[in-house]
Structure 1
Amino acid sequence: MLSSVLLASQLFDWLESIRFLDIKLINVEDFIELLVRFAFNGIVLVLIIRYLYARNSNRKDFFFSFFAVGITVFLLCFLLESVKLELGFALGLFAIFGIIRYRTDPIPIKEMTYLFVVIGISVINALANKKVSYSELVITNAILVGGLYLLERILRLRQEYELEIRYERIENIHRMKEEELITDLRQRTGIEIKRYEVTRIDFLRDVANITIFFDPIENPRYQIKK
């Protein structure tokens, strides 16, 4: 056992002595730290994205983006930590991602919030220096995950989707026929409607534009992309 440890130590020392273009082939201490921090950050991202976001929003189209952004930001911050920009660098990243907007598909507020959380956690786990102990790092991540859990589970802040419908039974839009309108819309769409808004009325063509709002958890078949 002892001989194996000595052999591994000698191997690492030999690898660290190898240089190419005046750059070390490997820095064992930094490499191990990268693996440990990356694994820890990955576990936290899985907890947030898979077990908090996914179970309460029922949208899978953002999974790829959340994981990709989290991994990229972590590696970017970790590898550029030697630049010593630290807080200013982190704030610069927040500013860059704060103005990002996907032109083809606007991000809903809740998804944008989770994206900000993913970026923030990745930056924290990557830029925490030797002055921050591992216990402080674990507690910080636990507070963030626990806070999201409380908001999602205890306060039950569910996401609300909307769907615009062109409705031809114009007589049902009268405010005295609210129950008839909701019943008719539920029968036609099969959606458990929470509320609705009449956005446009055209008496010339006897049609109205109605926006219905519903809970995606209760209506999993209707995953409306905004």
Structure 2
Amino acid sequence: MTSLMLIAVDLAAVVVLAYALYFRRHRRRDLVTAFVVVNIGVLAVTKVLASAEIGMGVGLGLFGVLSIIRLRSSEISQHEVAYYFASLAIGLIAGFDTLQPLLSVSLIALILAMIAIVDSPLLLSRSRQQSLRLDRAFTDESAMRAHVEQLLGGTVKVMEVTELDMVNDTTTVDVRWHRPDHSTRVYAPQAEDQGNYAQFQTAIRNQERQEARSSR
């Protein structure tokens, strides 16, 4: 009876994890299927190992192997890795009958509660991360920061150049930035903004030319 109860708890938990939490927030359907299937697969294998009276070490070894699997069909982000890990953990906890039922249910509830909190859109909602390819080869960090902030319409916190191509006159930069409280959209120059944006670019170029001349 305890085993059937834990299976029912596992099914309910993975539905909450995959559909109520992940899909409603991130809308990636293929990973919903992956989370559910991985969870059920781990639960089934764990039940088989437990019924065969194989040691706990084998089960934990299986969990370790599954947790480092990297599916190369498509790239997944770090928060999606966290959902994978949660799906694996829930299946493993529900699969072992050696734990007290109350403890198993409490651990599963804790996993769901924590992922609901840390992946909430209300938590760190202003923080953004973006990779940009700029149409200039920036060598001045201050000018590049001003240019990126103008493009994004927010405040750059951390900026790291990943590629500087002097031949093709481009810069690839990884940016961590905060959007303003009053706006949720990423800045993109519209037709009415093109004039101001062009003036900004011209001002930056003129400033760099003047600095280059004064340094000679």
TM-score between both structures, scaled by the size of structure 1: 0.61
Structure 2 CA distance for partners of 1:195 and 1:56, relative to 1, 3 Å: farther
Which residue of 1 is the match for residue 165 of structure 2?
202
- After superposition, give the CA deviation of every residue in 1:23-68 in whole Å (9 maximum; x if it has no partner): xxxxxx7xx954x433221111122222333445454442121111
After TM superposition, the structure 1 stretch with the greater mean CA deviation from structure 2, 114-123 or 199-208, is 199-208
Whether 1:70 aligns to 2:29 is: no
Alignment map for 1:63-212 (pairs within 5 Å) = 63-129=32-98, 132-153=99-120, 156=123, 162-165=130-133, 167-170=134-137, 174-176=141-143, 178-183=145-150, 185-186=151-152, 196-212=159-175
Q: How many residues align?
A: 180
Q: Structure 2 vs 1, CA of residues 181 and 114 (structure 1 numbering), >3 Å: closer, same or farther?
A: closer
Could you list the runs of 5+ residues in structure 1 that have no partner in the other structure? 1-28, 221-226
Change (3 A) 1:99 1:137: closer
The SS at the match of 1:46 is helix
Q: 3-state DSSP class of the match of 1:201?
A: strand
> Structure 1 residue 192: deviation in Å?
10
In structure 2, the CA distance between the partners of 1:104 and 1:164, relative to structure 1 (3 Å rule), is farther
Query: What secondary structure is seen at the aligned counterpart in 1 of 2:119?
Result: helix
Q: Is the 8 A contact 1:193 1:213 kept in 2?
A: yes
Consecutive unaligned residues in structure 2, runs of 5 or more:
179-183, 187-216
TM-score by length of 2: 0.64
Quote the residue 1:24 is aligned against.
none
Distance of 1:210 and 1:72 partners within structure 2:
40
Equivalent position amino acid for 1:137 in 2: S
Please report how far the alpha carbon of residue 83 of structure 1 lies from its aligned counterpart in structure 2 after TM superposition. 0.9
Check the 8 A contact 1:160/1:213 in 2, yes or no: yes
8 Å CA contact 2:49, 2:59 repeated in 1: no
Larger displacement relative to structure 2 (38-47 or 197-206): 197-206
> 1:214/1:48 Cα in 2 relative to 1: closer, same or farther (>3 Å)?
farther
Cα RMSD after superposing both structures? 3.7
| Distance in structure 2 (CA, Å) of the matches to 1:54 and 1:193 | 30
